[in-house]
Structure formats: C-alpha cells, structure tokens
Amino acid sequence: MSEKEYIPKRAMSIHAHPDDQEFTVAGTLARWIQAGCEVVSVIVTSGDAGSNEPTKNADYKPELAKLREAEQSSANAEVGIKETVFLHYPDGALEPTLNLRRDLTRLIRRYKPEAVVTGDPQGVFYGNGYINHPDHRAAAQAALYAVFPSSETRLIFTELLAEGYEPHKVKRLYVHGSDKSDTWVDIAATIGIKVSALKKHASQLGDWDPEKMLREWAAEEGKEHGLEYAEAYKVMILSEEEDRG
C-alpha cells in the first residue's frame, strides 16, 4: 500500500449474527481501537436460531438470544468496543428490507461513523464447502445502501429528519469477504485479541478451539502482501476529505 495507514476516528461494524464480527473483522477493529478509534458494533439479529439441540424448540429462542447477546457483549469488551446495538431481527429469516435499511441509516446518522465495516452482499459461494448464510448477505446489502445513498441524502427516510437525525456522509466502506479485495490490514498485533474475542461465543464453539483456523485464515490473507496476519477488504473511498473532529 502506498498510502499511509488509514485509521478512522469513528467506525461502525455491522453484522447479521453474534460471532460474525469475530470470525471476520475483529482484528482490524482492535487495531483501529488501539490507535484511538471509537467503534460501534451493530448486530442485526441476536442469533436465536443458533442451536440444533434436539431438545430445544421455539420457546428456547428468547433465552438463546439473551445468551448470545451476552456473549457478543463480552467479545466486544475484549476487542475494546464500548457501544453495542442489537436490532433484534429474526435469525435465519433476514431480508434486506427498507425497514432494516432505515434502522441502519438511523444508527449511522446518530453515531456518525467515518468508516463502516461489513460483509460482502455479493458473496454466495466460498470455496467448495461453504454457502454464505443469506442473513450475512442481507445485513451487508442493507448496510451498503444505508451507507450510500440513505445516510447522506436528506430526502430519503424523511421520518428520520423528524426524529432529529440529519444526513451524515460515511467516508469509507470496508467490505470483508470480497473476491476483489484491494486492502490488507495488518492484524499481527491483534490476532490474539481476535481469537480471545471469538472464544467468548461459547454457545457456538462447544469444545472446538478456533485459534488454529483463525491464524491460518489470517496468514493466508497476508502472505502475498508481506504480512504475517491480515484481514482483507475491498475498500470504497466515498470521500477523500480528512476528518477534523
């Protein structure tokens, strides 16, 4: 990379489920936080479909949602994130609706992030073994269009103006999981934090220790870019203007 390392002053991380952020972008968020960035973590569903135990049925879902929100809050504390917002959409049935886009637009206008970090709404097949969860794509698509055009355009969702939320322009969008990555963030100093944050999601991991896999992924992403461990992004630069705040 020729440009000086980019560190936003404020960033928002938007993901479908508790644990998505830790599997994907938490190393970058931790690095930015160590450099003085404030991060807001937005979790669209509370992961209330995240159990295949034969004894668990619909009446378990509220309890599981509470458990997973607590796990996410612990993970965020590990990363250094002070603000977490749960939107409580249903896990496993997420769509990129206008309601979701409006909810995300409201949060962007409220917290005024300079950068937004999310997944790739176009990612469907990863390798030969993983079909991307449709909730991931839905959250990413709603986040993408909340960033542009909804947050910065005054006359989209005018009900938000009535609530007191003026337009806000996000300057950079970091998209993780793209097959067109162009930016590699060095996470050598924060991969340990990423691992310990992911381990907070005990309800999902069971006895499995995710450390080896996370390190292998990060080594793979970094290896052609001179980095021991990295997270890769496609970055949209929507404004070159420096933040003065």
Q: Is 71 in the site for Zn ion (CB under 5 A)?
A: no
Q: Is 20 in the site for Zn ion (CB under 5 A)?
A: yes
Residue 18 Cβ, how far from Zn ion at the closest point, in Å?
8
Residue nearest Zn ion (C-beta atom): 17
Nearer to Zn ion among residue 130 and residue 153 (C-beta):
130
Nearer to Zn ion among residue 20 and residue 221 (C-beta):
20
Q: Is 103 in the site for Zn ion (CB under 5 A)?
A: no
Q: Is 101 in the site for Zn ion (CB under 5 A)?
A: no
The number of residues making up the chain comes to 245
Nearer to Zn ion among residue 17 and residue 109 (C-beta):
17
Binding segment for Zn ion (CB under 5 A), chosen from 9-17, 38-46, 90-98, 159-167, is: 9-17
The single residue listed with the structure tokens 């998505």 is 20
Binding segment for Zn ion (CB under 5 A), chosen from 11-19, 71-79, 104-112, 118-126, is: 11-19
Q: Is 91 in the site for Zn ion (CB under 5 A)?
A: no
Q: How many residues bind Zn ion (CB under 5 A)?
A: 2
**Spacing of C-alpha 195 from chain mean position:** 16
Q: Could you write out the three-class secondary structure of the chain?
A: CCCCCCCCCEEEEEECCCCHHHHHCHHHHHHHHHCCCEEEEEEEECCCCCCCCCCCCHHHHHHHHHHHHHHHHHHHHHHCCCEEEEEEECCCCCCCCHHHHHHHHHHHHHHCCCEEEECCCCCCEECCCEECCHHHHHHHHHHHHHHHHHCCCCCCCHHHHHCCCCCCCCCEEEEECCCCCCEEEECCCCHHHHHHHHCCCHHHHCCCCCHHHHHHHHHHHHHHHCCCCEEEEEEEECCCCCCCC
Nearer to Zn ion among residue 133 and residue 215 (C-beta):
133
| Tokens read off for 26 | 């938490």
Nearer to Zn ion among residue 172 and residue 176 (C-beta):
176
Question: Binding Zn ion by CB under 5 A: which of 13, 14, 17, 120?
Answer: 17
Q: Is 22 in the site for Zn ion (CB under 5 A)?
A: no
Residue 50 Cβ, how far from Zn ion at the closest point, in Å?
8
Q: Is 137 in the site for Zn ion (CB under 5 A)?
A: no
Q: Is 112 in the site for Zn ion (CB under 5 A)?
A: no
Sites of contact with Zn ion (CB under 5 A): 17, 20
